[in-house]
Amino acid sequence: MGFLDYVKGAIKNLFSVKDIKNAVKTDLALSDETLNKICEWYNMYSGKGRWVRDNISSLRLEQAVCREFSNIVLNEMTAKVSVKELDDIFSLAIRDIDMHFQERLATGAMIIKPLGRGGVQYVSQNAFIPVEYDTNGIPIKVIFPEFKRLGENRFYTRLEYHSLDRDKGLTITNKAFFSASKNSLGREIPLESVLEWADIEPYINYPKMLRPAFGYYRNPLKNTVDRSHMGISIFDSATEIIKKADVQFGRLDWEFESGERAVHVDAAALKADGTFPKLNKRLYRGIDIETGDNEAELFKEYSPELRQTDFIAGLEEYKRAIEFAVGLSYGDISNPQTVDKTATEIKASKKRKYNTVSAIQRNLKDCLEDLVYALAFWNGLTLSGYDFICDFKDSILIDEETERKEDRQDVAMGVMRLEEYRAKWYHEPIDKALKNLPETARVIE
């Protein structure tokens, strides 16, 4: 059972927000608008957008967007701690970050929560409950729910509540609940009622801990849903365009399916079971034709002209619109061979991607810095005098300039033709690039 099944009682008739508020005796930093959005983003990322039905499949463009951002961010990252013991713990903690970061970009935010012995839990925004944020948008009071089902009608829930207070420090409270129905939080029970929870302290306070005991990441996007501090999906601004792209692909798919070659055959020419002897059942379709004595009319070929070029062009245009909306470069998810853009537009799209990636990297760096502190705290290394180093390369812009210089050298050596260079960097067809070369270049040629 996931968080959304847990918290969205009004929508899924499961636990209500009121149940949780009563359990922890405090209000929650939640709104139905954002909860609905989180559910929508997660469904889209899972290929289950609200528009997906029998004749419309998901192209999983949401995953493509998240994968592109995750790859460029993490591939460019170098992160380490100066104290070896802590660096070993940290390296183990982020070893599988690439497996988790893509989905967290989809749902808007994540918490990396230490579990002890160097282990961590990557908690997506659809799996924790914010109670209160500080002025910088960091959750200082948050609930981590854990669920267990033992038997057909035995549902157990543990609420781990982290509360950070300037005067009291960090307080962690654990409560367990039992219900005979998944639709109810049920009554509070001792933690010892579940074997795995027996050794968990119901209440513990760390008065000297003045920072959250985890790392928190949020997408660098303004929350336009409810203006709260909750994170926004990296592809939220492209939701409707993604829908159009999936619908367009459905049209393209139908164009191929409906345009399959067939031969309409009079029923008189078929066997009793409706098939043509020894020939492809998919190719021949039986229909009733009034032909009189004209036997030539018994067979009619159906082979319409396919319009796939227009459908594909439309689909690629939607993909480019998605790239623009989310801050990717043209050609990241669209076909780079079909990008009909000027050199200025291409450069602007590279800069747009660079700005988006840089903002993600800044927020991720803050998250990892807090994670290192949390790991140091749980392992008694806060006074070890460690330094955290986290750097990112600028390959989005730098690599392009380097590649361009290399191509210029190839032109100078004669191993690359001028029209090839212009076609590549000015995004022109080779014949147009040749025509657009300066007259002096053509004479030299």
| Confidence tier at 213 by pLDDT (50, 70, 90) | very high
Distance CA 170, CA 394 (A): 38
Query: What are the structure tokens assigned to 410, written together?
Result: 């190839």
| Confidence tier at 444 by pLDDT (50, 70, 90) | very low
Let me know if residue 76 belongs to a domain: yes
Give the orientation angle of helix 61-75 with respect to helix 239-258, to 10 degrees.
Answer: 120
Lowest mean pLDDT among 266-275, 343-352, 369-378: 266-275
Distance CA 165, CA 159 (A): 19
CA distances (Å), origin 390, targets 81, 110, 387: 9, 19, 10
Q: Strand (E) positions, 59-125?
A: 77-81, 109-116, 119-124
* Alpha carbon 162 to chain centroid, angstroms: 27
pLDDT above 70 covers a percentage of the chain that reads 80
- How much is the pLDDT for 152? 84
Q: Mean of the per-residue pLDDT values for the chain?
A: 83
Assess contact for 370 and 211: CB atoms under 8 A.
yes
Unique residue bearing structure tokens 């030299």:
444
Amino acid occupying residue 301: E
Q: pLDDT (tens digit, 9 = 90+) per residue, 76-94?
A: 899 999 999 999 999 999 9
- How much is the pLDDT for 438? 84
Q: What are phi and psi of 28, to 5 degrees?
A: -120, 145
Let me know if residue 256 belongs to a domain: yes
Answer with the one of 218, 234, 250 that is the final residue of a domain. Answer: 234
**Pair (151, 82) in one structural domain:** yes
Q: 304: buried, middle or exposed (CB in 10 Å: 19+, 13-18, 0-12)? A: exposed
Range of the domain at 280: 240-326
Let me know if residue 292 belongs to a domain: yes
Show the 3-state SS of 279-307: CCCCCEEEECCCCCCCHHHHEEEECCCCC
Let me know if residue 389 belongs to a domain: no
Q: pLDDT (tens digit, 9 = 90+) per residue, 22-79?
A: 888 888 888 878 888 998 999 999 999 999 988 899 999 999 999 999 999 998 899 9
Query: Between 98 and 296, where is the model more confident?
Result: 98
Query: What are the structure tokens assigned to 313, written together?
Result: 């062009």
pLDDT above 90 covers a percentage of the chain that reads 49
| Confidence tier at 405 by pLDDT (50, 70, 90) | confident
**Pair (221, 270) in one structural domain:** no
Query: Between 432 and 137, where is the model more confident?
Result: 137
Lowest mean pLDDT among 97-101, 170-174, 272-276, 340-344: 272-276
**Pair (38, 93) in one structural domain:** yes
Q: What is the DSSP letter of 339?
A: -
Q: pLDDT (tens digit, 9 = 90+) per residue, 259-271?
A: 666 555 555 555 5
Q: What is the DSSP letter of 268?
A: G
CA distances (Å), origin 268, targets 275, 293, 300: 11, 12, 14
**Pair (96, 117) in one structural domain:** yes
- How much is the pLDDT for 254? 72
Query: Between 338 and 308, where is the model more confident?
Result: 308
**Pair (14, 105) in one structural domain:** yes
Q: Closest by alpha carbon to 56, among 249, 275, 321, 322?
A: 249
**Pair (138, 268) in one structural domain:** no
Q: What is the b/e burial string over 89-107, where b = at least 16 CB atoms within 10 angstroms of the residue's CB? A: bbeebbeebeebbbbbbbb
| Confidence tier at 347 by pLDDT (50, 70, 90) | confident
Q: Model pTM?
A: 0.78
3-state DSSP assignment of residue 74: helix
**Pair (227, 278) in one structural domain:** no
**Pair (305, 189) in one structural domain:** no
Hey, CA dihedral for 69, 102, 100, 191, is it positive or negative?
positive
Checking if the pLDDT of 276 tops 80, the result is no
Answer with the one of 326, 342, 359 that is the final residue of a domain. Answer: 326
3-state DSSP assignment of residue 200: coil
**Pair (223, 300) in one structural domain:** no
**Pair (153, 27) in one structural domain:** yes
- How much is the pLDDT for 363? 96
Q: Closest by alpha carbon to 283, among 299, 305, 307?
A: 299
**Pair (195, 244) in one structural domain:** no
Let me know if residue 134 belongs to a domain: yes
Query: Between 148 and 3, where is the model more confident?
Result: 148
Show the 3-state SS of 109-172: EEEEEEEECCEEEEEEHHHCEEEEECCCCCEEEEEEEEEEECCCCCEEEEEEEEEEECCCEEEE
Let me know if residue 336 belongs to a domain: no
Let me know if residue 339 belongs to a domain: no
Let me know if residue 255 belongs to a domain: yes
Answer with the one of 234, 250, 285 that is the final residue of a domain. Answer: 234
The domain tally of the chain equals 2
Q: What is the b/e burial string over 392-428, where b = at least 16 CB atoms within 10 angstroms of the residue's CB? A: beeebeeeeeeeeeebeeeeeeeebbbbbbbbebebb
- The mean pLDDT value for 176-198 works out to 91
Q: What is the DSSP letter of 327?
A: T
**Pair (220, 181) in one structural domain:** yes
CA distances (Å), origin 136, targets 131, 218, 228, 322, 357: 15, 11, 12, 29, 20
Q: Closest by alpha carbon to 134, among 233, 206, 29, 213?
A: 29
